[in-house]
Every structure is written in structure tokens, then in C-alpha cells.
Amino acid sequence: MSPSLFNFVDAKDKFTASARHALSGKSSKPLINIFNQIPGNETEKKTTLDQALRGVLGDLIVEQKPSCDDYLSLIYLSIDAVTEGICSATTPFVLLGDVLDCLPLDLCDKIFSFVEENVSTWKSNSFYTAGKNYLLRMCNDLLRRLSKSQNTVFCGRIQLFLARLFPLSEKSGLNLQSQFNLDNITVFNKNEQESTLGQKSTEEKEDGMEVEEGEMGEDDAPAPCSIPIDYNLYRKFWTLQDYFRNPVQCFDKFSWMTFLKYSDETLAVFKSFKLDDMQASKRKLEELRASGGEHVYFAKFLTSEKLMDLQLSDSNFRRHILLQYLILFQYLKGQVKFKSSSCVLNDDQTAWIEETTKLVYQLLREIPPDGDKFATMVEHILNTEENWNSWKNEGCPSFVKERTVDDKPKRPTRKRQAPEDFLGKGPDRKIFMGNDELTRLWNLNQDNMEACKSDSREFMPSLDEFFAEAIEQADPANMVEEEYKVVRNPNYGWRALRLLSRRSPHFFQPTNQKFKSLADYLDSMVSKLAKELPKDIPSEEIKTGEEDDDDNGDNLLKDSNDSPSIQSKLVTNQQMDDIAAKLGAQWKMLASHLEMKASELREIETDSEDVDMQAKLLLVSWQDREGTQATVENLVTALNSAGFSQIADSLSEA
């Protein structure tokens, strides 16, 4: 059997009856019972209940009851229905809009008090998303009906309610593009012919008749101004309001000159006309005491010419004008996102603004009462305003930071070693590689790849530097015996082969010539290199035996007129073995005189534990570093300096 169709008319009648019953009993239970009894899906039933509640509200409005209690009870009933899930979330706001549209303003005031009291309900998750636009539209409709001059308090309550309802980051309540209220035009007399300033006769001035009868007493009359108040001052003073209304004019060259001229004259009047504390605030203080301290002010300036003297004598009026200057200067100097590219101050304008700002603060401090306190408070407020300007420039980000919720259940994890335990802490952290020697090598430099690329790691010499000594010893004029030539040194031969493989094309050229030893091969390579390498020594000309087709090799190099003296003998491998055996554990005493670094000494100690081998490694390291300067003479000098004179003597006699 198919389910019965939903009957909208029957369901609406039942919901209407139950709503009236619930309204009389001030309980939502009858609505809940009828909602569960009526067949159909929830969407259909919710829509029907919404229509039923609006119908009941329409009947109440038609009855024109003088009290708002029934309207508010029905709205409370709809809020409970939303909470119970039997009504749409927008229904309470629709009912509020209908009530405010149909009631007069005096009853709307009472209804809006209910709206203000339930602001926490409107901000809850169940209502905010669905009703914020309804509330905003409702408030705007109310503001259009209200008069800003007669219903000022009601308008202010609506603005405060919206400020409480919406977050600070709500874009609809922000002046994002920094637009100005250009409709706020200050009207004053711009016809000099109609001006009444300066028309008092000389006799009246002499008799002291400077005020109208009955307006002010002698004790309350303002002190005469040191600058005469004429129509020009009046016109220039009120013309400044147009610049305060639209500050963009200040970036125009001609408008800026006018603003500069009028401002200097106005501030000169304020500076020359000082206010006396007792005289300026005597009547005002009495009025404040009589009225219980309530402040009375007007939203618009009174621009009558007859009031100019009184306005210059009023402390609050001066503070209004000077504060307008500070707000204008803050906009001109500040970084506003939506400023045009042409709105930029030049150096002269910036300097004038800085000087005038100091003058304005000085004038604020001189205005009684509590001038210093007022100036300090204004400066603090304007500094705080800079933070709001920065917030707007950043796009008004939300102040609410939502916490990320991890829905996944946390697994019990095995406690692992913290990275600080093996990576170290701080800038001098040490990375442990599992072995003392690897750890030491790895931590020699923070960036090992960059350390390998540094110039200090370039150990490969050039061909002319490395083979210079071998070419020189190959010259018969130098009379170097075969056994003392560097090519006979196995260490030298091994390094020579590596260098030739990297930098000489002769190393890979095929040849039919057979060599009995490495020294013979190096002699042949030296003869080839002698022809190619540049002549570093001008007094010596080197020629190879191949040029003279001499196979003996005796005339490998031609004698020069200025042959150098016989070079000191290099330390041989056998000599280093003998010296290492004699030094033993005392090899460190010699290390400092050979100018060995501490890092090199640590490497020697790490490479071998045998003291004789450590001494041999010391001498080998010194020989590798010095190269051709690792002579017997230099080693003898170092041994004598270290106190090993006997070892030095035996080396010299060898």
C-alpha cells in the first residue's frame, strides 16, 4: 500500500490551531506533538509550520493590540521550534521583519529592545548563518524610517547592535576603500556684500557696545582678539571645512597652496588668542554642574558671523578644529591601500605637516581645562588608529584563529630519539656519525660540500711548478747525480704520474720506447715538457736532446751563461726513516718548529698509534707541504730549534 500524499491545507490548519494553543500556554509542546503526528517528510512539514506561524502573526497584527507581548511570545515560540528542529532557522527573523514593517516607531522601539537582549541567541551557530542577512536588512529598513535628528538615540542603538552582532572582519560594515562623506557640506555666507562683520560704528566701539543686549554679561564677555575678525578671516576659516571633508584636494598643487595659506592664518589666530581657564569655562562648568555632567553638542557647526567671537572663545570648538587637522594629517602621511598613485606628498609638504602637527599639539595643551591630558589622549588614539589602518591594508583578516581538529584517533607511537639527541643544539651543533673519526671528519665544517669547493682545497699544482726542479736537475751544468734527482724519489714519481694523467696530453700518447724504470720514463717526459713549458728564468735557456738528435741524453739541456748555484739537497725517504726512529715519542716537540697545524697533528695521531710511524707521518706531511723547500738545510734548522742537535748533526754529516 502506497503512503498517503501530504495535504498542505489540512497540515496548515492543524499547525495554526496548535500554534495558537502553544501561544496561550507559552509552551512549544503542542507544536512538537502535531509535528510528529502529521505524515510527510520533514522539509514539507517545516515549510508548512513556517507559513502557519506567519499567518498567526498576521492575525495578531490585524487585531492591533496596543501591547507587544503577543508578538514577542510568538517569536519566542519560533525560536524554541528552531531549537527543537521542527521549524526553519530563518523563521524568527522573518517574523521580526514582518512585525517591524507593520508597527509604528514607538512599538518598534520595544521590539528592538527584544532584539538587543537576544544578541547572544542570534550569534549562536543555529541562527547566525541563516539570519545575519535578515537582521542586516531589517536594521537598514529601520534606519531609513528613522530621522537622524529626531531619533538619534534609536539610530545609535541600531548601529551598536550591528557592531555587537557582526565580527570586526565583516566586510559589509567596513569602509574598505577609505571613502569620504562628501555630502557633509558646511554652509556659510560666501557673499561679502551681505556680511555683517565690521559694520559696527566707531561710537559703539568706543562705548564698548560689542555684544547685543541680553546675550552676555560683562563677566562672561570674551577677551578682545588680538587679530581683528573680519569677513576674510570668517571666509577662510570655514573654507577649511571643505578640505577636512575631502582630503584628496590637498594633493592638488593649487588647492594645497590655498589650504596652506588659510591654515597658517587660522592657526595664527588660535596662537595669538589665548583662552583663560576661568573665563573660557566659567559658564560651561556651572551648566555642567546644574545638568549633572551631561554633555550637549550639535552634529553641525553653526556658521553665523555673529558667533565667530564666541566660537573662538570656546575651548571645545577649538579642540574640534585642531582635532580635524590631526586626522587630516594622519591620512595625508599614512599608507592607505586605495590611495591613487598621484596622491604623494613632496618634501616641502611633509616638512610643513610635521611642523604644523607640533604646533597643533602645543595649542591643544594650552586649551583649558586639562589641556595636557586631552592632548596626550588624542595622540594615543591616533597612534592606535595606525594599527587599524594597517589591518585594513592587509585585507581585514579575521581575528579568530580556528583550531584545527584532528578527527583521526591517535595511535600509541613508540618513543623515538629526538633529533636534538643526535643532531645537537644551537649554532655549534655536532652531528654524530657513529664513529669518533667519522664524527670528527664530518664536523670539521658546517657545510662539507662548500668546504670541498674552497680554494684552500685545491692541492693539484701546475706542470711548470711541479716539474721545475726536475727540469733544472736534468741540466748537466748543475752536476746533479742520478741518485739525488727527484725523479728517483718513489713518492715524487707517484705524484708525477697522477699529475701527468690530469694535465698532460703526453701521458696518453702511444710510444714504442721501452723504459726499464719509472725514473727513465719521467726523464723522457721531462724532456718533452721542457720544450712546451714557458721560460720562467730568463738567464737560463732549456733545450731538449731531441732538438739536437742526441740519443745519449747528456745534452738534454744547453748550458746557460748564468747557471744557478747548486740547490740544497732534498730530504730523502731513508733520511726521514732514520730521523723518525730517533725522534720516537718526542716527535711533537719538532712539530711546532715545522709549523704544523693542530688539526694535522690530530690526523697523524688518528692514522697510527705507533710513535715511530707518527714521527714518519709528520716528516712526510711537512715534505708534502713544503715541496722543493723540504731541504736538509731547513730540516736541520728546525731540529736545532727543537733541541735535537745530535740528530741535526748526524743529518748534516750524511
Residue 509 has pLDDT above 60, yes or no: yes
If you average pLDDT over residues 12-16, what whole number do you get?
90
Q: Which residue's C-alpha cell is 730521523?
A: 579
Reported as a pLDDT band with limits 50, 70 and 90, residue 288 is: low
pLDDT at 428: 61
Residue 449 CA to residue 457 CA, distance in Å, equals 11
Residue 514 has pLDDT above 90, yes or no: no
If you average pLDDT over residues 632-642, what whole number do you get?
86
Q: Which residue's C-alpha cell is 555587537?
A: 164
For residue 445, the enclosing domain spans: 422-457
> Under a CB-based contact definition with an 8 Å cutoff, are residues 594 and 623 in contact?
no
**pLDDT per residue over 313-354, tens digit each?**
888 999 999 999 999 999 999 888 778 888 889 999 999 999
DSSP string, 106-146: HHHHHHHHHHHHTHHHHTSTTTHHHHHHHHHHHHHHHHHHS
Report CA-CA distances (Å) from 302 to 30, 187, 317. Answer: 62, 9, 10
Residue 618 CA to residue 610 CA, distance in Å, equals 12
- CATH code of residue 628: 1.10.533.10
Q: Do residues 263 and 327 share a domain?
A: yes
> Under a CB-based contact definition with an 8 Å cutoff, are residues 496 and 466 in contact?
yes
CA atoms within 13 A on the CB side of 203: 0
541 is a domain residue: no
500 is a domain residue: yes
**pLDDT per residue over 25-50, tens digit each?**
888 888 889 888 888 888 898 999 99
217 is a domain residue: no
CA proximity to 259, closest of 356, 365, 362: 356
pLDDT at 88: 92
Q: Do residues 482 and 581 share a domain?
A: no
pLDDT at 353: 95
Reported as a pLDDT band with limits 50, 70 and 90, residue 407 is: low
**pLDDT per residue over 238-248, tens digit each?**
999 999 999 99
Reported as a pLDDT band with limits 50, 70 and 90, residue 535 is: low
Residues in the chain: 654
Least trusted range by pLDDT, from 14-18, 50-54, 278-282, 410-414:
278-282
Residue 224 has pLDDT above 90, yes or no: no
Residue 210 CA to residue 228 CA, distance in Å, equals 13
**pLDDT per residue over 430-484, tens digit each?**
777 778 888 887 777 777 777 777 777 777 888 888 888 888 888 778 788 888 8
Residue 587 CA to residue 581 CA, distance in Å, equals 10
108: CB partners within 8 A, 6+ apart: 100, 142, 145
Q: Do residues 331 and 468 share a domain?
A: no
649 is a domain residue: yes
**pLDDT per residue over 48-67, tens digit each?**
999 999 999 999 888 887 78
Q: Do residues 386 and 266 share a domain?
A: yes
pLDDT at 77: 92
pLDDT at 433: 76
Q: What are residue 149's phi and psi, to 5 degrees?
A: -90, -35
DSSP class of residue 533 equals S
Confidence (pTM): 0.48
> Under a CB-based contact definition with an 8 Å cutoff, are residues 15 and 48 in contact?
yes
Q: Do residues 82 and 141 share a domain?
A: yes
Of 169, 197, 219, the domain-final residue: 169
DSSP class of residue 87 equals S
CA proximity to 357, closest of 335, 377, 327, 386: 327
641 is a domain residue: yes
Residue 581 CA to residue 603 CA, distance in Å, equals 20
**pLDDT per residue over 193-215, tens digit each?**
888 876 653 344 444 444 443 34
Q: Do residues 523 and 481 share a domain?
A: yes
602: left (phi over 0), alpha (psi -120 to 50) or beta: alpha
Residue 281 has pLDDT above 70, yes or no: no
Total count of domains within the chain: 5
Rg (CA), the chain: 51
Residue 1 has pLDDT above 90, yes or no: no
Q: What are residue 155's phi and psi, to 5 degrees?
A: -60, -40
Residue 541 has pLDDT above 70, yes or no: no
Name the 3-class secondary structure at 18. Answer: helix
Least trusted range by pLDDT, from 166-170, 253-257, 421-425, 548-552:
548-552
Most confident residue range from 70-84, 159-173, 300-314, 397-411 = 70-84
pLDDT at 561: 36
40 is a domain residue: yes
**pLDDT per residue over 355-374, tens digit each?**
999 999 999 999 988 899 99
CA proximity to 326, closest of 362, 299, 290: 362
Of 123, 140, 169, the domain-final residue: 169
Residue 272 CA to residue 256 CA, distance in Å, equals 24
105: CB partners within 8 A, 6+ apart: 145, 146, 151, 154
Q: Do residues 446 and 481 share a domain?
A: no
Q: Do residues 433 and 526 share a domain?
A: no
Q: Do residues 452 and 468 share a domain?
A: no
Q: Do residues 140 and 246 share a domain?
A: no
Cis peptide bond upstream of 419, omega within 30:
no
Of 125, 141, 169, the domain-final residue: 169
Cβ atoms within 10 A of the Cβ of 336, count?
14
pLDDT above 70 covers a percentage of the chain that reads 81
Q: Do residues 37 and 145 share a domain?
A: yes
Residue 566 has pLDDT above 70, yes or no: no
If you average pLDDT over residues 106-120, what whole number do you get?
92
Q: Do residues 132 and 109 share a domain?
A: yes
Residue 130 CA to residue 203 CA, distance in Å, equals 75
Where is pLDDT greater, at 378 or 180? 378
470 is a domain residue: yes
443 is a domain residue: yes
Average pLDDT, whole number, for the chain? 80
pLDDT above 90 covers a percentage of the chain that reads 27
Residue 505 CA to residue 360 CA, distance in Å, equals 85
Where is pLDDT greater, at 253 or 439? 253
> Under a CB-based contact definition with an 8 Å cutoff, are residues 491 and 577 in contact?
no
